[in-house]
A = this chain, B = another copy of it.
Amino acid sequence: MGTISKALTLLDTLSLMQSEAGLTEIAKACDLDKATARRFLVELEKHGFVEQLAESRKYRIGSAPVRLGRIREACYPFLRTAMPFVKRLVEEVDETVHLSEFTGGRLSTVHVEDSTKAHRVFVAVGTLLPFHATASGLAFISSCPAADIEAAISAPLQSYTDYTLTDPASFRQSIEQTQADGYSVSRQGLEAGVISTSAAILTPGARPVGCITIAAPLVRADAGKVREHGLAAASTARRISDAFFGADRQVRTVPQSRRTN
């Protein structure tokens, strides 16, 4: 593993620690030598990727990623890219489809497209989606590194309905099922009478950035429908990912003064 990878892993690890962390703690968490961790932190700090608090001497994530993230979002906005695919999916399955995004350690709904049916599921933009109680959460966590999965499983599992997965073992089994299928299903996990199917939208590096989820009334969703929704969601997720990361979007050809020295 190269130096840069290690430094970025440190940054990642630091971002996952809630609040600030001390040098020794960081070094331990990243499995780095204290001296090395310190040098990394100093270099990262120079560029604003981490900050050190003067009095406590602790480190926390800096504001540089905010700046870079905004530039990225301004050039290649996730929502605008994904929207047409969400609409297409609604037309295909005629059920409410919502798009979620991982934000500050939490998965939340960023866009909802309703089905045309009178009897349909309503989802509010901004809804937080627990990993264990929603199809979106399941799809998301199932694509995360093993460490995150374990953390999610061992966290307290709040119950929302009589059907919420509150048992770590069944949560784990659902994750495994999701990984095998390529999509997740949550039967009344968050709200009674609703069955949701979801697939994670992945970066080229296979990190999940969000989910595309179909929410249908229980009465309309037999096993066949659920599978159909799952496959449709997975296929849409892949297409969003391609559009967002892969396929050349050719935003604008750089005017580019005559270089060629």
Contacts from A to B (Cβ < 8 Å):
2-5, 7-9, 11-12, 15, 17-21, 25, 39-40, 42-49, 51-56, 60-76, 78, 102-106, 203-205, 207, 209, 245-254, 259-260
Contacts and interface: CB of A to CB of B under 8 A. Distances in A.
A254 B68 contact: no
The copy count of this chain in the complex is 2
Contacts of A2: 39, 43
Given A20-B251, A48-B205, 16 more contacts: A4-B7, A8-B44, A8-B47, A19-B75, A46-B205, A51-B245, A54-B247, A61-B72, A64-B207, A65-B69, A66-B72, A66-B78, A67-B102, A67-B207, A70-B103, A70-B104
Contacts of A11: 68
Nearest to A65: B68
B71 A8 contact: no
A254 B74 CA distance: 34
Contacts of A7: 4, 7
A48 B4 contact: no
A63 to B, nearest CB: 6
30 contacts: A3-B3, A4-B4, A8-B43, A8-B44, A8-B49, A17-B254, A18-B252, A18-B254, A19-B254, A20-B251, A45-B204, A48-B204, A51-B246, A54-B247, A54-B248, A54-B250, A60-B76, A61-B68, A61-B72, A63-B72, A63-B78, A63-B203, A64-B65, A65-B68, A65-B69, A67-B69, A70-B103, A70-B104, A74-B105, A75-B104
Given A8-B49, A43-B2, A51-B245, A71 B205 contact: no
Nearest to A1: B43
Contacts of A74: 103-106
A144 to B, nearest CB: 12
Nearest to A10: B4
